[in-house]
Structure 1
Amino acid sequence: MDNLTNKYQALKDYLNKLESVAVAFSGGVDSTFLLKVAYDVLGKKAVAVTARSESFPKRELQEATAYAEKLGVDHFIIDSEELDIEGFSHNPKNRCYLCKSELFTKIKEIVTLQKLNYVIEGSNTDDDGDYRPGLLAVTELGVKSPLRFAKLSKDEIRQLSKELNLPTWNKQSFACLSSRFPYGENITPDRLQMIDQAEQYLLDLGFHQVRVRYHGDLARIETDEAGFETLVNEGIRSKIHDRFKTIGFTYISLDLKGYRTGSMNETL
Protein backbone atom coordinates (compact mmCIF):
# COMPACT_ATOMS: atom_id res chain seq x y z
CA MET A 1 0.00 0.00 0.00
CA ASP A 2 2.89 2.37 0.77
CA ASN A 3 4.23 1.80 -2.75
CA LEU A 4 0.84 2.54 -4.27
CA THR A 5 0.52 5.66 -2.14
CA ASN A 6 3.89 6.82 -3.43
CA LYS A 7 2.83 6.19 -7.03
CA TYR A 8 -0.37 8.14 -6.49
CA GLN A 9 1.57 11.06 -5.05
CA ALA A 10 4.06 10.89 -7.94
CA LEU A 11 1.11 11.14 -10.34
CA LYS A 12 -0.29 14.21 -8.60
CA ASP A 13 3.14 15.87 -8.47
CA TYR A 14 3.66 15.21 -12.17
CA LEU A 15 0.27 16.67 -13.10
CA ASN A 16 0.94 19.70 -10.95
CA LYS A 17 4.15 20.38 -12.92
CA LEU A 18 2.24 20.27 -16.20
CA GLU A 19 0.10 23.19 -14.91
CA SER A 20 -2.70 22.87 -17.48
CA VAL A 21 -3.91 19.93 -19.58
CA ALA A 22 -6.50 18.51 -21.94
CA VAL A 23 -7.32 14.92 -21.02
CA ALA A 24 -8.10 12.48 -23.84
CA PHE A 25 -11.21 11.13 -22.14
CA SER A 26 -13.02 8.02 -23.35
CA GLY A 27 -14.93 7.31 -20.15
CA GLY A 28 -13.00 4.09 -19.55
CA VAL A 29 -11.20 2.98 -16.38
CA ASP A 30 -7.89 4.69 -17.09
CA SER A 31 -9.02 7.99 -18.58
CA THR A 32 -11.73 8.48 -15.94
CA PHE A 33 -9.18 8.02 -13.17
CA LEU A 34 -6.71 10.32 -14.92
CA LEU A 35 -9.36 13.00 -15.45
CA LYS A 36 -10.46 12.84 -11.81
CA VAL A 37 -6.92 13.24 -10.48
CA ALA A 38 -6.06 15.96 -13.01
CA TYR A 39 -9.18 17.91 -12.05
CA ASP A 40 -8.44 17.46 -8.34
CA VAL A 41 -4.91 18.80 -8.85
CA LEU A 42 -5.46 21.47 -11.51
CA GLY A 43 -9.13 22.41 -11.22
CA LYS A 44 -10.35 24.38 -14.24
CA LYS A 45 -6.90 24.13 -15.80
CA ALA A 46 -7.83 20.56 -16.69
CA VAL A 47 -10.41 19.93 -19.42
CA ALA A 48 -11.78 16.73 -20.94
CA VAL A 49 -11.92 15.94 -24.66
CA THR A 50 -13.94 13.01 -26.02
CA ALA A 51 -13.96 11.83 -29.63
CA ARG A 52 -17.24 10.87 -31.27
CA SER A 53 -16.92 8.33 -34.06
CA GLU A 54 -18.38 5.21 -35.70
CA SER A 55 -16.09 2.99 -33.62
CA PHE A 56 -17.11 4.54 -30.29
CA PRO A 57 -20.43 3.14 -29.00
CA LYS A 58 -23.11 5.64 -28.01
CA ARG A 59 -23.29 4.11 -24.51
CA GLU A 60 -19.62 5.01 -23.96
CA LEU A 61 -20.15 8.58 -25.15
CA GLN A 62 -23.19 8.94 -22.91
CA GLU A 63 -21.31 7.61 -19.88
CA ALA A 64 -18.35 9.91 -20.55
CA THR A 65 -20.64 12.92 -20.91
CA ALA A 66 -22.54 12.08 -17.73
CA TYR A 67 -19.36 11.69 -15.67
CA ALA A 68 -17.77 14.91 -16.98
CA GLU A 69 -20.96 16.79 -16.11
CA LYS A 70 -21.05 15.28 -12.63
CA LEU A 71 -17.39 16.14 -12.04
CA GLY A 72 -17.91 19.69 -13.25
CA VAL A 73 -15.05 19.67 -15.72
CA ASP A 74 -15.25 21.51 -19.03
CA HIS A 75 -15.94 18.84 -21.64
CA PHE A 76 -15.30 19.13 -25.37
CA ILE A 77 -16.69 16.57 -27.83
CA ILE A 78 -14.95 16.39 -31.19
CA ASP A 79 -15.75 14.43 -34.33
CA SER A 80 -12.92 12.06 -35.15
CA GLU A 81 -14.10 9.82 -37.96
CA GLU A 82 -11.39 7.24 -38.42
CA LEU A 83 -12.94 5.81 -41.59
CA ASP A 84 -12.20 9.10 -43.36
CA ILE A 85 -8.46 8.69 -42.74
CA GLU A 86 -6.69 7.48 -45.87
CA GLY A 87 -5.95 3.77 -45.57
CA PHE A 88 -7.65 3.26 -42.21
CA SER A 89 -10.62 1.29 -43.52
CA HIS A 90 -8.26 -1.32 -44.98
CA ASN A 91 -7.21 -2.08 -41.38
CA PRO A 92 -3.42 -1.99 -41.75
CA LYS A 93 -1.15 -3.06 -38.93
CA ASN A 94 -0.56 0.60 -38.03
CA ARG A 95 -4.31 1.33 -37.87
CA CYS A 96 -4.09 2.54 -34.28
CA TYR A 97 -1.24 4.90 -35.19
CA LEU A 98 -3.34 6.52 -37.93
CA CYS A 99 -6.26 6.95 -35.53
CA LYS A 100 -4.26 8.34 -32.62
CA SER A 101 -2.34 10.74 -34.86
CA GLU A 102 -5.58 12.29 -36.04
CA LEU A 103 -7.16 12.27 -32.58
CA PHE A 104 -4.27 13.87 -30.73
CA THR A 105 -3.76 16.44 -33.49
CA LYS A 106 -7.36 17.56 -33.01
CA ILE A 107 -7.00 17.63 -29.22
CA LYS A 108 -3.86 19.75 -29.60
CA GLU A 109 -5.98 22.28 -31.48
CA ILE A 110 -8.19 22.56 -28.40
CA VAL A 111 -5.09 22.94 -26.24
CA THR A 112 -4.07 25.90 -28.40
CA LEU A 113 -7.52 27.50 -28.39
CA GLN A 114 -7.92 27.08 -24.63
CA LYS A 115 -4.34 28.22 -23.95
CA LEU A 116 -3.39 25.02 -22.16
CA ASN A 117 0.02 23.38 -22.01
CA TYR A 118 -0.34 19.68 -22.80
CA VAL A 119 -2.47 16.83 -24.04
CA ILE A 120 -2.42 13.86 -21.64
CA GLU A 121 -3.66 10.31 -22.21
CA GLY A 122 -4.37 7.25 -20.09
CA SER A 123 -2.05 4.43 -21.14
CA ASN A 124 -0.58 2.49 -18.20
CA THR A 125 2.27 0.05 -17.63
CA ASP A 126 0.16 -2.89 -18.83
CA ASP A 127 0.24 -1.34 -22.31
CA ASP A 128 4.01 -1.67 -22.51
CA GLY A 129 3.91 -5.41 -23.16
CA ASP A 130 1.67 -5.48 -26.24
CA TYR A 131 1.78 -4.21 -29.80
CA ARG A 132 0.64 -0.60 -29.39
CA PRO A 133 1.39 1.47 -32.53
CA GLY A 134 -0.75 4.26 -31.11
CA LEU A 135 1.98 4.97 -28.56
CA LEU A 136 4.23 6.09 -31.42
CA ALA A 137 1.75 8.86 -32.17
CA VAL A 138 1.84 9.78 -28.47
CA THR A 139 5.62 10.20 -28.66
CA GLU A 140 5.66 12.03 -32.00
CA LEU A 141 3.06 14.59 -30.96
CA GLY A 142 4.48 15.26 -27.50
CA VAL A 143 1.46 13.86 -25.67
CA LYS A 144 2.11 13.06 -22.01
CA SER A 145 1.30 9.73 -20.34
CA PRO A 146 1.08 10.46 -16.60
CA LEU A 147 -0.07 6.96 -15.55
CA ARG A 148 2.91 5.34 -17.24
CA PHE A 149 5.19 7.98 -15.71
CA ALA A 150 3.89 7.02 -12.25
CA LYS A 151 4.33 3.32 -13.15
CA LEU A 152 0.68 2.53 -12.43
CA SER A 153 -0.77 -0.78 -13.63
CA LYS A 154 -4.39 -1.42 -14.56
CA ASP A 155 -5.06 -3.26 -11.29
CA GLU A 156 -3.55 -0.38 -9.30
CA ILE A 157 -5.67 2.13 -11.21
CA ARG A 158 -8.77 0.10 -10.38
CA GLN A 159 -7.77 -0.02 -6.72
CA LEU A 160 -7.22 3.74 -6.51
CA SER A 161 -10.42 4.34 -8.49
CA LYS A 162 -12.35 2.32 -5.92
CA GLU A 163 -10.86 4.39 -3.10
CA LEU A 164 -11.94 7.54 -4.96
CA ASN A 165 -15.47 6.12 -5.40
CA LEU A 166 -15.24 6.32 -9.18
CA PRO A 167 -18.05 4.48 -10.99
CA THR A 168 -15.52 2.94 -13.38
CA TRP A 169 -13.37 1.10 -10.82
CA ASN A 170 -14.80 -2.27 -11.89
CA LYS A 171 -15.92 -1.30 -15.41
CA GLN A 172 -15.02 -3.79 -18.11
CA SER A 173 -11.98 -2.98 -20.25
CA PHE A 174 -12.88 -1.43 -23.57
CA ALA A 175 -11.11 -0.72 -26.84
CA CYS A 176 -12.51 0.90 -29.97
CA LEU A 177 -14.69 -1.34 -32.11
CA SER A 178 -12.14 -1.27 -34.94
CA SER A 179 -9.95 -3.55 -32.84
CA ARG A 180 -12.45 -6.39 -33.40
CA PHE A 181 -11.28 -6.94 -36.98
CA PRO A 182 -8.30 -9.01 -38.17
CA TYR A 183 -5.61 -6.90 -39.82
CA GLY A 184 -6.38 -6.59 -43.52
CA GLU A 185 -10.14 -7.08 -43.05
CA ASN A 186 -11.99 -4.00 -44.31
CA ILE A 187 -13.71 -1.91 -41.66
CA THR A 188 -17.06 -0.42 -42.68
CA PRO A 189 -19.83 1.43 -40.82
CA ASP A 190 -22.19 -1.54 -41.26
CA ARG A 191 -19.66 -3.99 -39.84
CA LEU A 192 -18.92 -1.70 -36.89
CA GLN A 193 -22.65 -1.52 -36.21
CA MET A 194 -22.88 -5.33 -36.24
CA ILE A 195 -20.14 -5.58 -33.61
CA ASP A 196 -21.69 -2.82 -31.52
CA GLN A 197 -25.12 -4.48 -31.56
CA ALA A 198 -23.68 -7.91 -30.75
CA GLU A 199 -21.61 -6.69 -27.81
CA GLN A 200 -24.43 -4.54 -26.48
CA TYR A 201 -26.72 -7.58 -26.54
CA LEU A 202 -24.24 -9.59 -24.48
CA LEU A 203 -23.89 -6.73 -22.00
CA ASP A 204 -27.68 -6.49 -21.75
CA LEU A 205 -27.76 -10.22 -20.93
CA GLY A 206 -25.47 -9.56 -17.98
CA PHE A 207 -22.06 -10.40 -19.39
CA HIS A 208 -19.34 -8.21 -17.89
CA GLN A 209 -16.20 -8.61 -19.98
CA VAL A 210 -16.75 -9.50 -23.63
CA ARG A 211 -15.38 -9.00 -27.11
CA VAL A 212 -17.06 -10.01 -30.35
CA ARG A 213 -14.39 -10.50 -33.01
CA TYR A 214 -15.40 -10.20 -36.66
CA HIS A 215 -14.37 -12.96 -39.07
CA GLY A 216 -16.65 -12.42 -42.06
CA ASP A 217 -19.84 -14.38 -41.49
CA LEU A 218 -18.47 -15.77 -38.20
CA ALA A 219 -18.59 -14.00 -34.84
CA ARG A 220 -16.00 -15.16 -32.29
CA ILE A 221 -17.02 -14.37 -28.71
CA GLU A 222 -14.36 -13.82 -26.06
CA THR A 223 -15.54 -13.64 -22.45
CA ASP A 224 -14.29 -14.05 -18.89
CA GLU A 225 -14.82 -16.99 -16.50
CA ALA A 226 -18.18 -15.65 -15.35
CA GLY A 227 -19.23 -15.43 -18.97
CA PHE A 228 -18.27 -19.07 -19.54
CA GLU A 229 -20.46 -20.07 -16.60
CA THR A 230 -23.37 -18.13 -18.07
CA LEU A 231 -22.95 -19.87 -21.42
CA VAL A 232 -23.43 -23.27 -19.78
CA ASN A 233 -27.14 -22.47 -20.00
CA GLU A 234 -28.43 -23.78 -23.32
CA GLY A 235 -31.25 -21.25 -23.28
CA ILE A 236 -28.78 -18.36 -23.13
CA ARG A 237 -26.73 -19.85 -25.96
CA SER A 238 -29.85 -20.18 -28.10
CA LYS A 239 -30.82 -16.56 -27.45
CA ILE A 240 -27.34 -15.37 -28.42
CA HIS A 241 -27.35 -17.53 -31.54
CA ASP A 242 -30.73 -16.22 -32.70
CA ARG A 243 -29.89 -12.59 -31.98
CA PHE A 244 -26.51 -12.76 -33.72
CA LYS A 245 -28.17 -14.35 -36.77
CA THR A 246 -30.58 -11.42 -36.86
CA ILE A 247 -27.65 -9.01 -36.68
CA GLY A 248 -26.12 -10.66 -39.74
CA PHE A 249 -23.73 -13.41 -38.62
CA THR A 250 -24.10 -16.92 -40.01
CA TYR A 251 -21.90 -18.71 -37.49
CA ILE A 252 -21.32 -17.89 -33.81
CA SER A 253 -18.37 -19.39 -31.93
CA LEU A 254 -16.88 -19.20 -28.45
CA ASP A 255 -13.14 -18.64 -28.06
CA LEU A 256 -11.98 -21.32 -25.61
CA LYS A 257 -9.06 -19.19 -24.43
CA GLY A 258 -11.46 -16.52 -23.28
CA TYR A 259 -11.19 -12.75 -23.13
CA ARG A 260 -7.79 -11.14 -23.59
CA THR A 261 -6.66 -7.76 -24.86
CA GLY A 262 -4.98 -7.59 -28.22
CA SER A 263 -5.97 -11.07 -29.38
CA MET A 264 -5.86 -9.86 -32.99
CA ASN A 265 -2.15 -9.15 -32.49
CA GLU A 266 -1.54 -12.89 -32.13
CA THR A 267 -1.38 -13.09 -35.93
CA LEU A 268 1.54 -10.66 -36.12
Structure 2
Amino acid sequence: MDANVVMLNRGYDQTFQAREQRIIETLASYDELVVSFSGRLAACYCMDLCRASGVRIRAVTLDSPTLSRQAVSRAKRYCQHHGIEQKVIQTDEILICNYLGRLGKVIDPIRYVCELASLESNWGHQPILLPASIDEQRCYLQRFDSLPANTLWCFAEQGMTDQDFRYGFHKRRLDHWGKGGNGCLSSRFIDPVTLDRHHLRMVDMAEQMLSDMGLEEAQVFFHTLADRVTTLARVRVPQRLRARVFDMQGSILKALKSTDFDLVTLDMTVIDEPLERVV
Protein backbone atom coordinates (compact mmCIF):
# COMPACT_ATOMS: atom_id res chain seq x y z
CA MET A 1 0.00 0.00 0.00
CA ASP A 2 1.20 3.52 -0.80
CA ALA A 3 2.84 5.12 2.24
CA ASN A 4 0.62 8.16 1.87
CA VAL A 5 -2.64 6.18 2.03
CA VAL A 6 -4.08 6.09 5.53
CA MET A 7 -6.85 3.68 6.48
CA LEU A 8 -9.38 5.56 8.57
CA ASN A 9 -11.63 4.26 11.29
CA ARG A 10 -15.07 3.64 9.80
CA GLY A 11 -16.85 4.57 13.03
CA TYR A 12 -14.99 7.85 13.23
CA ASP A 13 -15.77 8.58 9.60
CA GLN A 14 -19.50 8.03 10.11
CA THR A 15 -19.51 10.23 13.20
CA PHE A 16 -17.55 12.88 11.33
CA GLN A 17 -19.94 12.88 8.38
CA ALA A 18 -22.96 13.27 10.67
CA ARG A 19 -21.33 16.22 12.42
CA GLU A 20 -20.34 17.76 9.11
CA GLN A 21 -23.93 17.48 7.89
CA ARG A 22 -25.20 19.26 11.01
CA ILE A 23 -22.78 22.10 10.32
CA ILE A 24 -23.94 22.36 6.69
CA GLU A 25 -27.58 22.50 7.83
CA THR A 26 -26.74 25.25 10.32
CA LEU A 27 -24.97 27.28 7.64
CA ALA A 28 -27.90 26.78 5.24
CA SER A 29 -30.22 28.49 7.75
CA TYR A 30 -28.54 31.85 6.97
CA ASP A 31 -29.11 33.96 3.89
CA GLU A 32 -25.67 35.57 3.91
CA LEU A 33 -22.46 35.16 5.87
CA VAL A 34 -19.12 36.92 6.04
CA VAL A 35 -16.34 34.36 6.49
CA SER A 36 -13.08 35.26 8.17
CA PHE A 37 -10.92 33.71 5.47
CA SER A 38 -7.19 33.40 6.08
CA GLY A 39 -6.58 30.92 3.26
CA ARG A 40 -5.19 28.35 5.70
CA LEU A 41 -6.35 24.76 6.01
CA ALA A 42 -9.28 25.33 8.41
CA ALA A 43 -10.51 28.34 6.44
CA CYS A 44 -10.52 26.43 3.13
CA TYR A 45 -12.45 23.57 4.71
CA CYS A 46 -14.92 26.05 6.23
CA MET A 47 -15.45 27.68 2.84
CA ASP A 48 -16.09 24.32 1.22
CA LEU A 49 -18.88 23.56 3.70
CA CYS A 50 -20.35 27.03 3.15
CA ARG A 51 -20.46 26.39 -0.58
CA ALA A 52 -22.08 23.00 0.04
CA SER A 53 -24.78 24.66 2.16
CA GLY A 54 -25.77 27.15 -0.54
CA VAL A 55 -25.45 30.19 1.72
CA ARG A 56 -24.27 33.41 0.02
CA ILE A 57 -20.67 33.99 1.07
CA ARG A 58 -18.48 37.03 1.38
CA ALA A 59 -14.89 36.71 2.54
CA VAL A 60 -12.78 39.06 4.63
CA THR A 61 -9.04 38.39 4.70
CA LEU A 62 -7.01 40.28 7.27
CA ASP A 63 -3.53 40.59 5.77
CA SER A 64 -1.43 41.01 8.91
CA PRO A 65 2.29 40.28 9.53
CA THR A 66 1.41 36.91 11.07
CA LEU A 67 -0.30 35.65 7.89
CA SER A 68 2.11 34.13 5.38
CA ARG A 69 2.24 35.32 1.78
CA GLN A 70 1.37 31.76 0.71
CA ALA A 71 -1.86 31.89 2.70
CA VAL A 72 -2.83 35.32 1.33
CA SER A 73 -2.19 34.14 -2.22
CA ARG A 74 -4.23 30.98 -1.62
CA ALA A 75 -7.15 32.99 -0.22
CA LYS A 76 -7.19 35.24 -3.27
CA ARG A 77 -6.97 32.33 -5.72
CA TYR A 78 -9.77 30.47 -3.97
CA CYS A 79 -12.13 33.45 -4.02
CA GLN A 80 -11.35 34.31 -7.62
CA HIS A 81 -11.88 30.72 -8.73
CA HIS A 82 -15.25 30.38 -6.99
CA GLY A 83 -16.47 33.93 -7.67
CA ILE A 84 -16.62 34.88 -3.98
CA GLU A 85 -16.61 38.58 -3.12
CA GLN A 86 -13.52 39.23 -1.02
CA LYS A 87 -12.15 42.16 0.94
CA VAL A 88 -8.42 41.97 1.71
CA ILE A 89 -7.68 44.40 4.53
CA GLN A 90 -4.03 45.14 5.23
CA THR A 91 -2.87 45.93 8.73
CA ASP A 92 0.53 46.30 10.41
CA GLU A 93 -0.84 45.03 13.71
CA ILE A 94 0.60 41.73 14.94
CA LEU A 95 -2.50 39.61 15.52
CA ILE A 96 -1.95 36.37 17.36
CA CYS A 97 -4.36 33.80 15.96
CA ASN A 98 -2.86 30.81 17.79
CA TYR A 99 -1.00 30.48 21.06
CA LEU A 100 -2.68 33.53 22.50
CA GLY A 101 -1.24 33.02 25.94
CA ARG A 102 2.36 33.60 24.90
CA LEU A 103 2.33 37.38 24.97
CA GLY A 104 1.42 39.64 27.83
CA LYS A 105 -0.62 42.18 25.87
CA VAL A 106 -2.24 41.34 22.56
CA ILE A 107 -4.97 42.77 20.38
CA ASP A 108 -8.18 40.75 20.35
CA PRO A 109 -7.94 39.37 16.78
CA ILE A 110 -11.62 38.47 16.42
CA ARG A 111 -12.99 41.80 17.60
CA TYR A 112 -10.42 43.50 15.39
CA VAL A 113 -11.70 41.56 12.35
CA CYS A 114 -15.28 42.45 13.28
CA GLU A 115 -14.40 46.12 13.65
CA LEU A 116 -12.70 46.34 10.25
CA ALA A 117 -15.39 44.30 8.50
CA SER A 118 -18.09 46.60 9.90
CA LEU A 119 -16.48 49.52 8.06
CA GLU A 120 -17.19 47.85 4.73
CA SER A 121 -20.41 49.00 3.03
CA ASN A 122 -23.33 46.59 3.57
CA TRP A 123 -21.17 44.15 5.54
CA GLY A 124 -21.66 45.41 9.07
CA HIS A 125 -24.99 43.67 9.77
CA GLN A 126 -23.96 40.22 8.55
CA PRO A 127 -22.76 37.53 10.98
CA ILE A 128 -19.05 36.68 10.76
CA LEU A 129 -18.25 32.98 10.62
CA LEU A 130 -15.05 31.88 12.35
CA PRO A 131 -13.41 28.68 11.06
CA ALA A 132 -12.19 27.93 14.58
CA SER A 133 -11.84 24.59 16.34
CA ILE A 134 -13.06 23.95 19.86
CA ASP A 135 -9.42 24.13 20.95
CA GLU A 136 -9.05 27.62 19.48
CA GLN A 137 -12.34 28.75 21.01
CA ARG A 138 -11.23 27.61 24.47
CA CYS A 139 -7.91 29.37 24.04
CA TYR A 140 -9.69 32.54 22.92
CA LEU A 141 -12.10 32.50 25.86
CA GLN A 142 -9.26 32.00 28.31
CA ARG A 143 -7.67 35.17 26.99
CA PHE A 144 -10.65 37.40 26.19
CA ASP A 145 -13.45 36.04 28.44
CA SER A 146 -16.37 36.28 25.99
CA LEU A 147 -17.23 35.76 22.32
CA PRO A 148 -17.92 38.91 20.28
CA ALA A 149 -21.49 39.65 19.29
CA ASN A 150 -22.60 38.73 15.77
CA THR A 151 -19.96 36.00 15.39
CA LEU A 152 -20.65 32.34 14.57
CA TRP A 153 -18.58 29.46 15.94
CA CYS A 154 -20.44 26.56 14.29
CA PHE A 155 -17.40 24.30 14.08
CA ALA A 156 -16.37 24.79 17.69
CA GLU A 157 -19.95 24.25 18.84
CA GLN A 158 -19.95 20.87 17.09
CA GLY A 159 -16.74 19.93 18.89
CA MET A 160 -14.50 20.07 15.81
CA THR A 161 -10.84 19.74 16.79
CA ASP A 162 -7.76 20.79 14.85
CA GLN A 163 -7.35 17.15 13.83
CA ASP A 164 -10.95 17.08 12.56
CA PHE A 165 -10.23 20.08 10.35
CA ARG A 166 -7.23 18.31 8.86
CA TYR A 167 -9.32 15.19 8.29
CA GLY A 168 -12.10 17.15 6.56
CA PHE A 169 -9.62 19.13 4.46
CA HIS A 170 -8.01 16.01 3.01
CA LYS A 171 -11.26 14.06 2.77
CA ARG A 172 -12.64 16.81 0.54
CA ARG A 173 -9.47 16.82 -1.57
CA LEU A 174 -8.73 20.46 -0.93
CA ASP A 175 -4.95 20.17 -0.92
CA HIS A 176 -4.79 21.21 -4.59
CA TRP A 177 -5.12 24.74 -3.13
CA GLY A 178 -1.95 24.08 -1.13
CA LYS A 179 -1.29 22.17 2.06
CA GLY A 180 -2.39 25.16 4.09
CA GLY A 181 -1.63 23.56 7.46
CA ASN A 182 1.29 25.61 8.70
CA GLY A 183 -0.77 27.94 10.87
CA CYS A 184 -0.08 31.40 12.20
CA LEU A 185 3.52 32.56 11.79
CA SER A 186 3.57 33.62 15.44
CA SER A 187 3.70 29.91 16.36
CA ARG A 188 7.28 29.81 15.00
CA PHE A 189 8.57 31.87 17.94
CA ILE A 190 9.47 30.12 21.19
CA ASP A 191 10.55 33.38 22.83
CA PRO A 192 7.80 36.04 22.45
CA VAL A 193 10.38 38.79 23.02
CA THR A 194 11.83 38.08 19.58
CA LEU A 195 8.46 38.33 17.81
CA ASP A 196 8.42 41.49 15.69
CA ARG A 197 7.57 42.43 12.11
CA HIS A 198 11.12 42.05 10.79
CA HIS A 199 11.57 38.58 12.27
CA LEU A 200 8.12 37.52 11.06
CA ARG A 201 9.13 38.62 7.59
CA MET A 202 12.34 36.55 7.83
CA VAL A 203 10.35 33.43 8.72
CA ASP A 204 7.79 34.10 5.99
CA MET A 205 10.46 34.58 3.31
CA ALA A 206 12.34 31.48 4.45
CA GLU A 207 9.21 29.32 4.24
CA GLN A 208 8.37 30.73 0.84
CA MET A 209 11.83 29.82 -0.42
CA LEU A 210 11.56 26.28 0.92
CA SER A 211 8.13 25.95 -0.69
CA ASP A 212 9.60 27.06 -4.03
CA MET A 213 12.19 24.31 -3.57
CA GLY A 214 9.46 21.69 -3.29
CA LEU A 215 9.26 21.65 0.52
CA GLU A 216 5.79 23.17 0.90
CA GLU A 217 5.19 21.57 4.30
CA ALA A 218 8.41 22.94 5.83
CA GLN A 219 8.19 25.17 8.87
CA VAL A 220 10.93 27.56 9.97
CA PHE A 221 11.21 28.30 13.69
CA PHE A 222 12.98 31.44 14.87
CA HIS A 223 15.66 31.33 17.60
CA THR A 224 18.49 33.48 18.84
CA LEU A 225 21.63 32.26 20.57
CA ALA A 226 22.75 33.32 24.05
CA ASP A 227 24.12 36.60 22.70
CA ARG A 228 20.51 37.53 21.68
CA VAL A 229 21.89 38.70 18.32
CA THR A 230 22.84 35.60 16.32
CA THR A 231 19.72 34.21 14.63
CA LEU A 232 19.03 30.54 13.97
CA ALA A 233 16.45 28.98 11.66
CA ARG A 234 15.24 25.58 12.89
CA VAL A 235 13.72 23.80 9.89
CA ARG A 236 11.04 21.18 10.56
CA VAL A 237 9.75 18.87 7.82
CA PRO A 238 7.76 15.62 7.88
CA GLN A 239 9.96 12.57 8.31
CA ARG A 240 9.38 11.35 4.76
CA LEU A 241 11.05 14.53 3.41
CA ARG A 242 14.21 14.38 5.51
CA ALA A 243 16.28 12.45 2.99
CA ARG A 244 15.49 15.07 0.36
CA VAL A 245 16.39 17.85 2.81
CA PHE A 246 19.77 16.24 3.55
CA ASP A 247 20.49 16.15 -0.18
CA MET A 248 19.56 19.83 -0.44
CA GLN A 249 21.58 21.09 2.53
CA GLY A 250 23.75 23.48 0.56
CA SER A 251 20.85 25.05 -1.31
CA ILE A 252 18.74 25.38 1.83
CA LEU A 253 21.57 27.00 3.78
CA LYS A 254 22.20 29.52 1.00
CA ALA A 255 18.49 30.34 0.64
CA LEU A 256 17.82 30.85 4.35
CA LYS A 257 20.96 32.87 4.96
CA SER A 258 19.75 35.22 2.24
CA THR A 259 16.74 36.01 4.49
CA ASP A 260 19.13 37.25 7.25
CA PHE A 261 19.38 34.03 9.28
CA ASP A 262 22.91 33.45 10.56
CA LEU A 263 22.59 29.72 11.24
CA VAL A 264 20.35 26.92 9.95
CA THR A 265 19.62 23.57 11.59
CA LEU A 266 17.28 20.63 10.92
CA ASP A 267 14.76 19.59 13.58
CA MET A 268 14.87 15.80 13.98
CA THR A 269 11.64 15.63 16.03
CA VAL A 270 9.15 13.08 14.74
CA ILE A 271 5.91 14.96 14.03
CA ASP A 272 2.46 13.87 12.99
CA GLU A 273 2.08 14.09 9.24
CA PRO A 274 -1.13 15.35 7.61
CA LEU A 275 -3.28 12.90 5.72
CA GLU A 276 -2.40 12.97 2.05
CA ARG A 277 -5.17 10.71 0.82
CA VAL A 278 -8.24 9.30 2.46
CA VAL A 279 -9.68 5.89 1.62
**Smaller-chain TM-score range?**
0.7 to 0.9
Q: 181, 192, 208: which is aligned to 1:184? A: 192
> Offset of 1:109 from its aligned partner?
4.3
* Among candidates 203, 207, 213, match of residue 195 of structure 1: 203
Task: Look up the match of 2:15.
Answer: 3
**Deviation string for 1:30-63 (max 9, x for gaps)?**
111212222332433x211111123323332122
Whether 1:107 aligns to 2:117 is: yes
Alignment deviations for residues 206-255 of structure 1 (CA, whole Å, 9 cap, x no partner): 2242221111311111221123232332xx11221222222222221222
CA RMSD of aligned residues (A): 3.2
Higher helix share: 1
For residue 215 of structure 1, what is the aligned residue in structure 2? Answer: 223
Q: Measured at CA, do residues 180 and 229 of structure 1 come closer, stay the same or move farther in structure 2, by a change above 3 Å?
A: same
Question: Please, which of 48, 51, 57 is the counterpart of residue 39 of structure 1?
Answer: 51
Change (3 A) 1:181 1:171: same
Partner of 1:132: helix, strand, or coil? helix
Kept in 2, the 8 Å contact 1:209–1:259? The answer is no
Please give the secondary structure, in 1, of the residue aligned with 2:209. helix
1:170-202 per-position Cα deviation (integer Å, ceiling 9, x unaligned) = 714122223322343243332222111211121
Aligned residues: 249
Q: How does 1:157-168 map to 2 (within 5 A)?
A: 157-162=165-170, 164-167=172-175
The residue number in structure 2 matching 1:58 is 69
Q: Is the 8 A contact 1:55 1:178 kept in 2?
A: yes
- For 1:264, the equivalent position in structure 2 comes to none
Distance 1:126 1:183, change over 3 A: same
Normalised TM-score (structure 2): 0.75
The one-letter code of the counterpart of 1:50 is T
1:1-268 to 2 correspondence within 5 Å? 1-44=13-56, 46-83=57-94, 92-93=103-104, 95=106, 98-110=108-120, 113-114=122-123, 116-125=125-134, 127=136, 132-133=139-140, 136-137=143-144, 139-142=146-149, 143-162=151-170, 164-167=172-175, 171-216=179-224, 217-233=231-247, 236-259=248-271
* Alpha-carbon distance in 1 for matches of 2:146, 2:222: 30
- Residue 266 of structure 1 is matched in structure 2 by none
Q: Judge conservation of contact 2:217–2:237 (CA < 8 Å) in 1.
A: yes
Give CA-to-partner distance per residue, 1:43-87, whole Å, 9 cap, x none: 33x2111111233233321221111111122111112322499xx
Q: In the superposition, relative to structure 1, how do residues 75 and 98 fare at CA in structure 2: closer, same or farther (>3 Å)?
A: same
Identify which of structures 1 and 2 has the higher relative contact order when contacts are C-alpha pairs closer than 8 Å and 6+ apart.
2
By how many angstroms is 1:115 displaced? 5.5
Measured after TM superposition, the shift of residue 24 of structure 1 is: 0.5
Give 5+ residue unaligned stretches, structure 1: 86-90, 262-268
- Check conservation: 1:29, 1:169, Cα contact below 8 A: no
